[in-house]
């Protein structure tokens, strides 16, 4: 969706003319607002700044579940004018040897390390517009990014979803549904979030 379309939507001026100018869903790009939010989240996760507080706890299982580590954490602060409040949950599994059969019927030992992390939270951009994000990353799940933005009634409406290299705008999910499926997955996410 283009920047023009985002501005028109905010002002409540959607009409046939503006619909004709919108970017087709096959070529949709992540909105500049969400690019900035994603950059702020990555900065908050990868570097400690004086304006952010990070807390991460890890529980390592023992016994038959040895090698499995559950992580929970929070990040709060301001990065590049964007206020973030994020919850992080994830699991990592130590290197495991698995026996697989290759295409020639030979047994082969393959090492793998599974990891999956979910980042959920809210943001307030420099123009005081509130929103929410949900990221799922790692090699043990289906990675995606979902972005919600505050509308006039105070709720947060799903605006864009990123799955792989594809960006989907709200229009591609159809109207009238409380839950939407991310195309190409079985993942269901809410269209609206109460703020």
- What pLDDT, on a 0 to 100 scale, did the predictor assign at position 86? 96
H helices within the chain, ranges in order? Answer: 3-11, 16-21, 32-46
Supply the DSSP symbol for 177: -
pTM of the model: 0.75
> Angle at Cα 84 formed by Cα 79 and Cα 86, nearest 5°?
130
For 17-128, strand residue ranges (E) read: 52-60, 68-79, 82-93, 96-101, 107-112, 115-124
Beta bridge mates, 167: 162
- What pLDDT, on a 0 to 100 scale, did the predictor assign at position 28? 76
10-residue averages of pLDDT along the chain (195 residues): 55 44 56 94 87 90 87 94 95 80 83 85 94 88 90 93 89 78 87 86
* CA trace torsion 41, 47, 52, 58 (10° rounding): 90
Burial class (CB in 10 A: 0-12, 13-18, 19+), 148: buried
And the tokens for 2?
């283009």
At 20, give phi and psi (nearest 5°): -70, -25
And the tokens for 122?
């809210």
């Amino acid at each position: 969706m283009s920047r023009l379309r985002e501005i028109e939507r905010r002002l409540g001026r959607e009409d046939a003319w503006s619909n004709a100018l919108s970017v087709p869903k096959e070529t949709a790009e992540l909105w500049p607002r969400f690019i900035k939010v994603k950059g702020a989240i990555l900065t908050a996760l990868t570097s400690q700044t004086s304006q952010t507080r990070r807390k991460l706890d890890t529980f390592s299982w023992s016994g038959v579940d040895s090698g499995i580590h559950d992580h929970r954490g929070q990040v709060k602060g301001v990065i590049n004018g964007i206020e973030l409040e994020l919850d992080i949950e994830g699991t990592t599994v130590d290197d495991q040897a698995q026996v697989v059969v290759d295409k020639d019927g030979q047994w082969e030992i393959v090492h793998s390390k599974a990891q999956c992390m979910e980042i959920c939270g809210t943001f307030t951009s420099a123009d005081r517009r509130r929103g929410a994000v949900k990221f799922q990353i790692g090699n043990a799940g289906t990675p995606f990014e979902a972005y919600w933005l505050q509308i006039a009634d105070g709720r947060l409406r799903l605006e864009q979803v990123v799955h792989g290299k594809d960006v989907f705008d709200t229009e591609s999910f159809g109207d009238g549904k409380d839950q939407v499926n991310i195309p190409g997955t079985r993942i269901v996410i809410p269209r609206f979030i109460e703020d």
